[in-house]
Structure formats: C-alpha cells, structure tokens
C-alpha cells in the first residue's frame, strides 16, 4: 500500500512540476505551451501505466486520485476525462512525429503549432496520413476549429486524393494541398452543404448562384487555396453580342483567372463549347502577359469526363466538376482512397523488382 502511495505521489510531483513550468510562459504562448503540457502529462501517465502490473484498476484508481490532487491545486479543469485525453493524445502523436522539439526533460516530441481544440479534432482521425494532411492545412490556411471540423466532415482529403493521379496522392500527407498546376485546384465532388439547399427540391441556376454569393466565405474555403472573388454575371461584349460568366475568380497562386459556370441540368457539349469561348476571350482580351492561361470550370450536378474529353482538345484548360448539396459518404471515399494507395504501393514494389 505504501509503495502505491509513493508511486502516486511521485507521479503527482512530476506532473505538478510540468504544469508549473507551463504556467511560466507568457500569455501569447499559453495555448501552445498547454498543448506541450498535455502531451507531457500523457507521457507520464502512459509510462506509469506501463509499469503498473494491475492495469485493470489503473483508470479507476490512479487517474481518479491524480485528478483529485491536480484539481485541488490547479482548478477543476484537470478531471479524469482530461487526463484520459492527455493519455490518448500522447499515444497518437508519440508514434507519428512530424518535427522534433525537445521538452525540458530532453524528450523529443512532435512540433505542435495549433491549439488544443484543434488537436482534440485531429487526434481522433485514425489514418495517420489523413491526420497529417489536416494538420498541415490547418496550420498553412489558419483554419479555425470550426473550419477544420467542416473540412474533415466534407472529406476534403479523400476528395482531393480522388481528383489526382495516383502518384500524387502520397504528397497530400507530406505537403498538404499543393497548387502548382490547374488540375490541383479541382476536387470531385465539390460539397455545398452549407448553402442550405435541399437536394430533393427544385431550384434554378440563379437561385444556386444567389446561395453561393450569400455564403461566399464558405464557398471560397471549399474552392481551396489562393482564390479571390472578382464578380458575378461578368458581362463582356463580342461582335455586338452580350455574354455573361456566372462567377469570376482569380487564383493568386496560379496567377490566372478562374471562370465558373453553374449547371443544374445534364452537361452538354454546347455547355463545353460556351465555356471554351469564355476562356478564349479572357486569354485574348483580359489576361495580362505575365498571367497564366485562364481556367474554366463547369460546376454541374453530374460531370461527364468522357464528354469533356471528346468535345475539347487535349490541352484545353477546362474541367467539369460535380457538386453535391450534402456531405459525402466518408466511409465510401476512404475505401476508394485505400484502393488507390494500395495500387500505388503495389506499383512501387513492382518497379523495385524490375530494376
């Protein structure tokens, strides 16, 4: 009994010292400091648990007593549930080090740059590659917790993966979403659940456009990196005829205009021809010499890649992208991505054997 009390006291002292060190940080770094603290707390708990021969009673005994002592000294925040989250946080991130930053105890840990609220979302993502992708994007795009939750719920990782060549899928986990060429901004499907339009109701292209304009901030987030909104129903005249482009954007990363036409009916070759004319007009009369060729996107209920390939020349900078008014089936998309990755890895093994 005395040995158990000594062990509990030692564990309390270790964690107490760690929390005291965290409190010394200036206010601007409190959030990050606490993330490292939670990681360290989890480390101490896991290490102590691994040396405890009576694991079955661990959660009910040691954690409960530890929580009582910590709450008495630091307030009500150090509950058993908090300690369990710390333990899980450590288990997840100690096995997937992205960077390395030493703790005072010279232990190397991942480089944490987000808030604890972000990590509460991230650490529940089982797939390590997917988790790394969302962590990179949260940091680079300065996502709020709500934006991170929405992007995860909308299966951004899977949709980007399935919109790319298999050789590029592995880059997502290591670099996040890279935007080097026009196809990098395409995702299938584009998810517009935030518009509030019900899939089973009748609506016009004008109503769809109005809904997008009213939720432009969310729409820009869904489009992805580098997008700036320029105008709606952009009018231009050619040979005394008026033409209107539904939505005009500019992508600062690709340095080009991006034209979007909305289609609620079946995609036709006339739609593609019209977009080709819009793109040609912008390339010849609007874009400046330093800018890249204009991109055209037909946002439609059902895309038809075969029709696009048959109608347009191979070097056309025009894409059809499907949209949906509800969140996608994450399990289905995850299964598809898994198949792609397995095929990628099999091809890599085959290449090694043929060398």
Question: Same domain for 344 and 267?
Answer: no
Give the model's confidence band at 59: pLDDT under 50 very low, under 70 low, under 90 confident, else very high. Answer: low
Residue 237 lies in a domain: yes
pLDDT at 236: 92
CATH code of 296's domain:
3.40.1350.10
Taking a C-beta distance cutoff of 8 angstroms, is the pair 112, 32 a contact? yes
Residue 74 lies in a domain: yes
Q: Which two tokens stand for residue 37?
A: 């603290």
Question: Same domain for 132 and 197?
Answer: no
Residue 182 lies in a domain: no
For the chain, how are helix, strand and coil distributed in percent, rounded to 5? Answer: 55, 15, 30
Residue 118 lies in a domain: no
221-240 average pLDDT score: 93
Question: Same domain for 132 and 211?
Answer: no
Taking a C-beta distance cutoff of 8 angstroms, is the pair 303, 190 a contact? no
Residue 184 lies in a domain: no
Question: Same domain for 172 and 194?
Answer: no
Residue 212 lies in a domain: yes
Give the model's confidence band at 26: pLDDT under 50 very low, under 70 low, under 90 confident, else very high. Answer: low
Number of domains in the chain: 3
Taking a C-beta distance cutoff of 8 angstroms, is the pair 152, 68 a contact? no
Question: Same domain for 287 and 201?
Answer: yes
Weakest-pLDDT range from 27-31, 122-126, 188-192, 267-271: 27-31
- Kindly report each contact of residues 345-349 with a partner whose C-beta sits within 8 Å and lies 24 or more positions away, as own/partner: 347/166
Which range of residues forms the domain containing residue 242? 190-327
Question: Same domain for 241 and 312?
Answer: yes
pLDDT tens digits along 106-122: 456 778 989 999 999 99
Give the model's confidence band at 170: pLDDT under 50 very low, under 70 low, under 90 confident, else very high. Answer: confident
Tell me: pLDDT of 5 over 70: yes
Question: Same domain for 323 and 334?
Answer: no
Residue 117 lies in a domain: no
User: Which pTM value belongs to this model?
Assistant: 0.80
Residue 315 lies in a domain: yes
Distance, CA of 322 to CA of 299 (rounded, Å): 6
């Amino acid at each position: 009994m005395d040995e158990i009390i000594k062990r509990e006291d030692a564990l309390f002292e270790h964690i107490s010292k760690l929390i005291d060190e965290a409190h010394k940080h200036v206010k601007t770094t409190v959030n990050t400091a606490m993330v490292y603290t939670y990681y360290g707390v989890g480390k101490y708990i896991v290490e102590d648990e691994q040396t405890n021969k009576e694991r079955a009673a661990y959660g009910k005994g040691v954690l409960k007593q530890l929580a009582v002592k910590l709450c008495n000294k630091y307030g009500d925040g150090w509950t058993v549930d908090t300690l369990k989250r710390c333990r899980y946080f450590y288990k997840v991130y100690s096995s997937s080090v992205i960077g390395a930053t030493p703790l005072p105890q010279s232990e190397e840990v991942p480089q944490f740059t987000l808030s604890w609220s972000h990590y509460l979302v991230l650490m529940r993502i089982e797939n390590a590659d997917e988790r790394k992708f969302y962590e990179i994007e949260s940091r680079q795009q300065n996502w709020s917790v709500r934006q991170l939750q929405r992007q995860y719920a909308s299966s951004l990782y899977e949709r980007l993966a399935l919109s790319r060549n298999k050789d590029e899928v592995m880059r997502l986990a290591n670099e996040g979403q890279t935007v080097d060429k026009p196809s990098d901004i395409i995702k299938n499907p584009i998810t517009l659940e935030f518009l509030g339009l019900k899939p089973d109701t009748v609506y016009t292209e004008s109503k769809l456009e109005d809904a997008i304009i009213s939720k432009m901030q969310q729409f820009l987030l869904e489009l992805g990196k580098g997008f700036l909104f320029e105008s709606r129903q952009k009018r231009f005249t050619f040979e005394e005829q008026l033409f209107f482009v539904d939505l005009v954007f500019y992508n600062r990363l690709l340095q080009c205009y991006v034209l979007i036409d909305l289609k609620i009916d079946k995609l036709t070759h006339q739609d593609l021809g019209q977009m080709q004319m819009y793109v040609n007009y912008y390339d010849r009369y609007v874009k400046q010499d330093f800018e890249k060729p204009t991109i055209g996107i037909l946002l439609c209920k059902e895309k038809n890649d075969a029709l696009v390939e048959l109608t347009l020349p191979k070097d056309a900078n025009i894409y059809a992208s499907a949209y949906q008014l509800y969140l996608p089936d994450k399990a289905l998309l995850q299964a598809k991505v898994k198949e792609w990755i397995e095929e990628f890895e099999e091809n890599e093994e085959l290449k090694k054997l043929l060398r």
